[in-house]
Amino acid sequence: MNIPRNILIATAALAVLVIGLVGVNAQGVLNGEPTIVAVVDLGNLYDSLREKQQIDAELGTIRTQVTQESEDRQKDIAQKKQDLDMLVPGTPPYADAQEAYETSALAYQVWVQYEQNKLSREAGIRIKKLQENLKKAINTVAETQKIGVVLYKQQSLRLGTNSQGRPQTANIDIVAWASDTVDITDLIAQQMNNDFDNNR
C-alpha cells in the first residue's frame, strides 16, 4: 500500500516538532535553578525540642505514678498472703483469706497489663503529634530558605519506651553522605520550639 507523499511529509514534520518540543523542555529543566538539598539529624533535633522534653516529662510522671501504685498493690497482696499463711488450711477463715489473696493477685495482673497498654497508647499519640509538627516545621523552613529537598541523616532514632519500659529505636538510612553546610537541624529545632512556645 502506497502512502501519499504529502501525508509522509506531514508525519515527518510532526515528529520533528515533537522531538524539538521534548528537547526544549529537557533543556529547560537542565538550565533551571539548581535544587538546594538539606538534611536533618533527627537524633540531635529531638534532643533539643522543648515539646519532646515535655512529652518525656509527662510520660515520666505517669510512669512514676503507675510504679508507686504497683508497689502499693504488691504490698497489699503480700500482706494477704502473709495473713493466709497464718491460718489453718481447710477452715472457713482460710478459704475466705485464700479467695481475697487470689482475687487481689489476679486483679493486679490485669491492672498491670491495662496500664502498660494505656502508657503505650499515650506515648503513641504524643509521638504522632510531634511528627506532624516536625513535618510542618520542615515545610516552613524549607520554603523560607528556598530549599527544594530535605532528607534525614542516617540515625538511630529514639522513640521512647515500650510497654515494658525498654527503649525503642528505629534505624533510618536515607542519606549516603552529606556536608555539614546543608544541615538545617538547628533551624528546624528553632522553628518547632517557636511554634511550641506560641501554642502554649
* pLDDT (0 to 100) of residue 156: 59
* pLDDT (0 to 100) of residue 11: 44
What's the gap between Cα 38 and its chain centre? 21
Q: Is the pTM of this model over 0.75?
A: no
By the 10 Å C-beta count (0-12 exposed, 13-18 middle, 19+ buried), 175 is classed as middle
**H or E element that contains 173:** none
* pLDDT (0 to 100) of residue 23: 44
Give every residue of the chain whose pLDDT is below 50, as ranges.
Answer: 1-30, 176
**DSSP secondary structure, 84-145, as one string:** HHTSPTTSHHHHHHHHHHHHHHHHHHHHHHHHHHHHHHHHHHHHHHHHHHHHHHHHHHHHHT
> Do residues 21 and 166 make contact, with C-beta atoms less than 8 angstroms apart?
no
> Do residues 38 and 149 make contact, with C-beta atoms less than 8 angstroms apart?
yes
5-14 per-position pLDDT tens digit: 444 344 444 4
What letter does residue 34 receive in the DSSP assignment?
P
* pLDDT (0 to 100) of residue 24: 41
